[in-house]
Structure 1
Amino acid sequence: MPVNPPQAPTLSGDLLTIHRLLQSPTQIQRRLQTIQDLRFVADKILTARYRSSGGAVLYDVSEPIFNTREVESVAPGAEYPKDVTPEGAAALAAVSKWGQATQLTDERIKRNARPGDELDRVLRKVVNTIIRKVDSITISAVASAVTATSPAVDNWDVSTANILRDIETAEAAIEDLDMGYNPDSILMSSTKYAFMASDDKIATLRRRETTDNPIYGGDIEMLGNLKVIVAPASRLPSNDVWVFDSTQLGGMADEAEVDPGYTVGEMAVQIQSERIARRDAWEVWGRRITVPVIQEPGAAVKITGTNP
């Protein structure tokens, strides 16, 4: 007869190992490194790195790359004409601590045939939630700062669309500013990526019978000289497409100092765990102390009119 409630599955082996792991920041860090699919879109868009001081970062916006005075012909023995190097507008951004905590009970550990999977699930959810938040505020900051637009020929889901021309036109708009920007990335939603990957005009220009074609299970990682970055539509402030210079647009300002008890990995997410003995549970929490910095808004253009 069935037992009600069901008996908890027995465990022999690594229960003690999991508890020791939760007590060791070094072991948690190694566990985080095995979760390969967790990546910030924010760090691909804003590749520069800034150090905060006193909880904020000071930076220049749209710093000119040319001096204001034209170069002149200099006569032999004459003094070179002098000019003052122009600076961009000073801006200040305060870092914020984005984090969340969750509990991992002894029962959840004991009743899983693979206790390590339960720990991975908890870590994954915490880190995923932090990634979603940081990505959302970063992409929103980019969308607010970037004012330049380039209209699409037509919606990307119709036969009259010319997706490659739309992208090349946006690149040209950035390069024609003559500010030293070199577009190297394109950001779009999963739906826009689907339109681009299945576009007949782009397909005819790709190499045939090669395994990196989307039809064979490959991805379009590069389009021309642009690295393709795909984000869920829910993280984008609008269903547009952005072309930008990731080396010039800006960066993430992280508070790099790690407080006692925390472990931090390549994703800049800090994790800590604590035993709650009276609840027969562990509390696991994560955080990222950061702020997106948009230093060169002119290094990006938004392609509008792509919506179906």
Structure 2
Amino acid sequence: MGYTYPVRHQTGTLTTEQLHLLLKNPRLIARQVASLTNEKFLADYLLSGRYDAAGGGVYYETETGDLYTGTDPEAIEPAGDYPLIQLDEGVPSAARTVKFGQGSVITDEKISREGNQYVQKALMRVGNQMVRYVDTVAWGVIASRVSSTSAATSDGVGAWTTAGNVLGHLMTVREARAELATGLDLDTVVLPSAKWAKLVGMLVDDGALPREQGNIALSGTAPVSAFGMTWLTSPHITGTDPWLFDTAQLGGMADEKLLSEEFAAAGQTGVEASTTRISDNDSYLVRGRRVTVPIVTEPQAGVKLTGTGL
């Protein structure tokens, strides 16, 4: 499954009776939570690999060399043997999943007086908080594992004060990483929200954006494709510097599916949701959780861009 980040959630109107039926059905609640969280995780976009953390843990290898075999293919005669090569072994690593979760109580009075709007608000806040926290944890792992940096001023390009400097710096870093013969293609630029706004303003002032399709300023959304790269932003990024990634090689998310009786799966992201009627308190307890751990398997698939002046 491809991940696009982010997508708007759906809205709708339900009667009080329909809301009670909804809140008694874990699968329907899971579907609602899915519509609020699916394809909103920055973590799933950047760490595009998928691992099954059955038993609460996952074993993986961190790459230490390049992504080529190091030996050229040979001409093979009909019925001839193929030459065999020995692949380099990565550094074995292990990670344990963590259950991130949160719940909210929805009373009968709120259902009767505020209706669908309140129920959707409760589910949205639980979902949004889960997205933000998991993204923050994943970003912390990425920032700690990816140690490569590139200063705009040291590359002979200069600070990001013009569109030419921005593209010059990005292309310099991209080509330098490609020359390492690692098979990496760093083609995704990630910026914190405040820096994204400054960058778009500068590109507009320099007339560097297309006037029609793909214009970041016109669409107002991210990610977008421009200048042969993907550009995206998120409020969950810590720090102030832009980054450049190869999202196909960086790493992945390892999800553990607990699927206990009262929980149901919510979409493709590993999120699970439950709803429980609390008869003594005339209310429902709605919970959402994701049991996961972010892992970086190729630290060279990212570069922190410093000295940009944004």
SS at match of 1:147: coil
Q: Summarize the Cα distance change of 1:277–1:246 in structure 2 as closer, same or farther, 3 Å threshold.
A: same
CA distance in 2, matches of 1:72, 1:288: 44
SS at match of 2:259: coil
Shift of residue 225 of structure 1? 2.5
Shift of residue 36 of structure 1? 7.3
Q: Summarize the Cα distance change of 1:82–1:15 in structure 2 as closer, same or farther, 3 Å threshold.
A: closer
- Superposed CA deviations along residues 264-292 of structure 1, whole A, max 9, x for unmatched, are 22332211011111111111111100000
Q: TM-score, normalised by structure 1?
A: 0.83
- Superposed CA deviations along residues 200-220 of structure 1, whole A, max 9, x for unmatched, are 488434333x26434434446
SS at match of 1:302: strand
Match of 1:45 in 2: 46
Match of 2:234 in 1: 231
Q: Summarize the Cα distance change of 1:239–1:182 in structure 2 as closer, same or farther, 3 Å threshold.
A: same
SS at match of 2:273: strand
CA distance in 2, matches of 1:117, 1:303: 42
Q: Summarize the Cα distance change of 1:270–1:219 in structure 2 as closer, same or farther, 3 Å threshold.
A: closer
SS at match of 2:36: coil
- Superposed CA deviations along residues 29-60 of structure 1, whole A, max 9, x for unmatched, are 33234437871111111000001132110000
Shift of residue 102 of structure 1? 1.5
Match of 1:247 in 2: 248
CA distance in 1, matches of 2:282, 2:40: 32
CA distance in 2, matches of 1:287, 1:254: 11
CA distance in 2, matches of 1:200, 1:40: 27
Q: Is the 8 A contact 1:241 1:302 kept in 2?
A: yes
- The alignment of Structure 1 onto Structure 2 pairs a total of residues equal to 287
The amino acid that maps onto 2:32 is R
Match of 1:5 in 2: none
- Superposed CA deviations along residues 237-259 of structure 1, whole A, max 9, x for unmatched, are 32111111101000000013422
The amino acid that maps onto 1:44 is Y
- Tell which deviates more after alignment, 41-50 or 264-273: 264-273
Shift of residue 223 of structure 1? 2.6
- Superposed CA deviations along residues 102-141 of structure 1, whole A, max 9, x for unmatched, are 21111111111xx121111111011111111100010111
Q: Summarize the Cα distance change of 1:89–1:239 in structure 2 as closer, same or farther, 3 Å threshold.
A: same
> Which residue, out of 290, 293, 298, partners 1:291?
293
SS at match of 2:147: coil
CA distance in 2, matches of 1:131, 1:108: 25
Q: Is the 8 A contact 2:274 2:288 kept in 1?
A: yes
Shift of residue 193 of structure 1? 1.2
Match of 2:282 in 1: 280
CA distance in 2, matches of 1:52, 1:25: 23
SS at match of 1:18: helix
Q: Is the 8 A contact 2:251 2:297 kept in 1?
A: yes
Map residues 124-163 of structure 1 onto 2, 5 A cutoff: 124-153=124-153, 154-156=158-160, 158=161, 162-163=165-166
Match of 1:89 in 2: 91
SS at match of 1:198: helix
Q: Once superposed, what is the RMSD of the aligned Cα atoms?
A: 2.9
Match of 1:207 in 2: 210
Match of 2:172 in 1: 169
SS at match of 1:240: coil
Shift of residue 83 of structure 1? 5.2
SS at match of 1:204: coil
SS at match of 2:105: strand
Segments of structure 1 that go 5 or more residues without pairing to the other structure are: 1-12
Segments of structure 2 that go 5 or more residues without pairing to the other structure are: 1-13
CA distance in 1, matches of 2:205, 2:248: 26
Match of 1:185 in 2: 188
Q: Is the 8 A contact 1:240 1:307 kept in 2?
A: no
